[in-house]
């Protein structure tokens, strides 16, 4: 069976989303990383909740710390779509499935994409619970959402410029909210296991400051379709070899939960300024 064109599938999902939420156009999408789910509560006035599995092309999230929910919020004048779960490569999903949420949101009108994640910190000075603005990325997954047949007619071609993968304008807005926010380069890996200390030393040599298992493909897909991207990592642990303890997904979620109020306030104030 031939696979459905991913852009057509995103357009279909955007149509179902508009019908299910009663919101014709969303302005901003917020993709919540591991442990960020609680940050969606209290961000704005809830307009509608839709199960992600009701939308075409969305697999149900399997990873603890993710929610099976798309939530439409009103924050000031803006309609904000919050995606409570994301599909990762390490769950066995394709790059196209991993970026389907972002493509759907852009088909639904979003011109701003906020990607959040939990990450290991490569800067020993960062405490657990430190939010970091992503300034650039290393896509070390070995794949890309731009692999495959040429995008459908009417869409930009394969070769997307990634000079400004993460918008400096949006980072400036985030820094107006919290001038103490550091910036870092995010290395995105296939994942499924945490890294070895030798790998972490290699990523340091490559200039990375953060390491994680998501985000990089979504940023590429968003830039391809012309959206502006803000990326925020929550450092939930020092990376392997820097951390004095073994890494554990439960600890990642605990740190994220403890940081909930801070990251919720940060996101709310950023959303209000967009």
195 is catalytic: yes
Among positions 40, 252, 263, 271, the unique one binding ligand HPA when judged by CB under 6 A: 252
Q: Which residues pair with 231 in a beta bridge?
A: 115
**Interface with ligand HPA, residue 137, by CB under 6 A:** no
Q: Which residues pair with 219 in a beta bridge?
A: none
**Interface with ligand HPA, residue 247, by CB under 6 A:** yes
All residues at 6 or more sequence positions from 168 whose CB lies less than 8 Å from its CB, including other chains: none
- Output b/e per residue, 145-175; b: 16+ Cβ within 10 A: bbeeeebeeeeeeeebeeeebbbeebbebbe
Give the integer Cα–Cα distance in Å for 84 and 218: 15
- To ligand HPA, the closest distance from the beta carbon of 132 in angstroms equals 12
- To ligand HPA, the closest distance from the beta carbon of 133 in angstroms equals 17
**Interface with ligand HPA, residue 213, by CB under 6 A:** yes
- To ligand HPA, the closest distance from the beta carbon of 115 in angstroms equals 14
Of 195, 228, 250, 258, the active-site residue reads 195
**Interface with ligand HPA, residue 187, by CB under 6 A:** no
| CA-CA-CA-CA torsion sign (37, 41, 45, 47) | positive
Q: Which residues pair with 205 in a beta bridge?
A: none
Among positions 72, 167, 236, 259, the unique one binding ligand HPA when judged by CB under 6 A: 236
Helix extents (H) in 90-149: 95-98, 100-107
**Interface with ligand HPA, residue 132, by CB under 6 A:** no
Query: Which single residue brings its beta carbon nearest to ligand HPA?
Result: 120
Binding residues vs ligand HPA (CB under 6 A): 118-120, 194-195, 211-213, 236-237, 239, 247, 252
């Amino acid at each position: 069976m031939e696979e459905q064109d991913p852009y057509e599938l995103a357009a279909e999902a955007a149509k179902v989303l508009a019908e299910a939420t009663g919101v014709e156009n969303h302005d901003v999408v917020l993709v919540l990383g591991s442990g960020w789910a609680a940050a969606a509560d209290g961000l704005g006035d809830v307009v509608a909740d839709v199960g992600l599995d009701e939308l075409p092309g969305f697999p149900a999230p399997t990873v603890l710390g993710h929610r099976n929910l798309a939530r439409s919020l009103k924050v000031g004048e803006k309609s904000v779509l919050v995606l409570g779960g994301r599909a990762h490569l390490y769950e066995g999903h394709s790059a196209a499935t991993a970026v389907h949420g972002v493509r759907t949101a852009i088909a639904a009108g979003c011109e701003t994409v906020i990607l959040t994640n939990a990450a290991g910190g490569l800067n020993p000075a960062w405490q657990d619970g430190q939010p970091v603005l992503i300034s650039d990325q290393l896509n070390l997954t070995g794949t890309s959402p731009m692999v495959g047949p040429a995008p459908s007619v009417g869409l930009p071609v394969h070769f997307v410029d990634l000079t400004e993968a993460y918008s400096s304008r949006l980072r400036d807005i985030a820094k107006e909210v919290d001038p103490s926010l550091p910036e870092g380069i995010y290395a995105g890996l296939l994942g499924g296991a945490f890294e070895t200390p030798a790998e972490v030393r290699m990523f340091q040599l490559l200039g990375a400051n953060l390491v994680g298992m998501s985000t990089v493909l979504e940023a590429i897909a968003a830039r391809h379709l012309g959206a502006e991207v803000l990326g925020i990592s929550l450092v939930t642990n020092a990376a392997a070899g820097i951390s004095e303890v073994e890494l554990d997904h439960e600890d990642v979620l605990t740190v994220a939960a403890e940081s909930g109020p801070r990251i919720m306030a940060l996101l709310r104030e950023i959303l209000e300024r967009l």
